[in-house]
Structure 1
Amino acid sequence: MIGLIIAIILFNFIAFKTNKRLTANQIVHLWLFTIAFQSNFDVYIDLKYHGYWYFTDGADWTGILVHTVLIPPVNMMFLNWYPFKRNYIRQVRYFIFWLIAILLYEMLTLLPEPWGYFYYGWWNLWHSAILNPVLLLILLGYYKAVCKLEDRLLARKK
């Protein structure tokens, strides 16, 4: 639990302190999207198929912290610093850097309590390595869709 609390404080502080790109509307969209997407995914992988879990196998109250206040600021940081206006090579390097960082953080969460809070059933790091790029691409697509909706709304107001 100590590791989770430190990560929540650190990630939220960094995400909000360094945010220069995301509007309040985008943050709310991103936060709610992350919670909904992660929760839906975990209903199957965690609760139904017991692939992994937070703290205890099955539903628990402490797992809510992971969904609601840990993962959304990480997504904020990813999008805030994403080099949208840079060349493709730079974007790919940034993407790879984040994939490695996420996997390293997942390895830290596997430490014994009180530092770790994540446990594997049949899931392993390779599953995450394969799935994380897809999840980050979905996040990028969602962010771009929200930006387009905002642009359309602003154009209508003019």
Structure 2
Amino acid sequence: MAFLIASIIVFNTIAFFIPKNMTRAEIYSALLFASVFQLITDYYLIEKYDLYGYFDKGPEFKELLVFYGVFPAVNTIYLNFFPFSGKVIVKVIYILAWAAFITLYEWASVKSGYFYYSGWKLGYSALLYPIIFCVLTLNFVILRKLERHE
């Protein structure tokens, strides 16, 4: 639990104090999308297929610390520094670097005991994180295009 609490403090401190390249509405909308995306994914992979979970089997209030303490801050940091005007190679490197970081963070989460596998493997996550970050980025690009047309 100490790793989770430290993560919440570090990620939220960074997310709060970084110079923002996003409006509050963009942050809010992006976090809502990311939350729904995460919850749908977890619903199927945890509840239906029992591939992994947080803490112990079954829903627990402690999971809310992960959902609302870690994920929103990480998504804010990721999107805030995304090189939208950079070359494609820069964007690919950025996504792969974040995927590597989050894979390492997931490994540490398993070691700390707040996340567990029951059929899932870290390699699956390493392969899926670039796709997940692309989906989050695409959603944000669509959001910005919608805002410009308003």
The TM-score with structure 1 as length reference comes to 0.90
Match of 2:124 among 127, 136, 155: 127
The answer as to whether partners of 1:4 and 1:116 remain within 8 angstroms in 2 is: no
Alpha-carbon distance in 2 for matches of 1:75, 1:19: 15
Alpha-carbon distance in 2 for matches of 1:42, 1:97: 23
TM superposition outliers: structure 1 runs of 4+ over 3 Å: none
Alpha-carbon distance in 2 for matches of 1:92, 1:119: 29
Structure 1 position 116 matched with structure 2 position 113 = yes
Alpha-carbon distance in 1 for matches of 2:88, 2:33: 26
Alpha-carbon distance in 1 for matches of 2:30, 2:84: 17
Alignment partner, residue 37 of structure 1: 37
Structure 1 position 147 matched with structure 2 position 144 = yes
How far 1:116 sits from its partner (Å)? 3.3
The TM-score with structure 2 as length reference comes to 0.94
Greater Rg by CA = 1
Q: In structure 1, list runs of 5 or more residues that go unmatched.
A: 154-158
1:47 to 1:19, Cα distance in 2 relative to 1, 3 A: farther
Count of residues in Structure 1 that have an aligned counterpart in Structure 2: 150
Alpha-carbon distance in 2 for matches of 1:25, 1:15: 15
Q: 1:94-119: CA deviations, max 9, x gaps?
A: 111111101110111011xxx43000
Alignment partner, residue 24 of structure 1: 24
